Amino acid sequence: MKTILRCALISVAACMTSIALAADQPDGAALFKTKCSMCHGADGKGFAALKTPDFTDPKWQGSKSDKEIASVIKNGKQGTMMQAFGNQLKDDEIDALVKEIRSLRKK
């Protein structure tokens, strides 16, 4: 009985730790919605009139590294409307946005 109780307590503690760690992770989808969707569309397909890229396009996805995407988010893109978000977002938030952008790829 003690062994079963001990295992149950360990399982609960592990779940609580996982929940706490997940709560500390920025929500890439929420960040995309508030920081990116107005120019890149809620679906990430961009707007031709604004000349924003289609994040769902496998060719676009394949042509950019995570590091390149993070750099553009952080520093902006000269000669375009893409502003720098490095002064507004923490590194983990930028990483969450990169993951969200990657998740938009058409399969």
* Mean pLDDT on 89-107: 94
Report pLDDT digits (tens) over 1-28: 656 555 555 655 555 554 544 567 899 9
The residues, ordered by sequence, that sit 6+ positions from 41 with a Cβ below 8 Å of its Cβ are 47, 52
Nearest to 74 by CA among 57, 98, 46: 98
Task: Give all domains of the chain, ordered by start, each with its CATH number.
Answer: 26-103 (1.10.760.10)
| pLDDT, tens digit, 9 for 90 and up, residues 60-78 | 999 999 999 999 999 999 9
The answer, as to whether pTM is greater than 0.85, is no
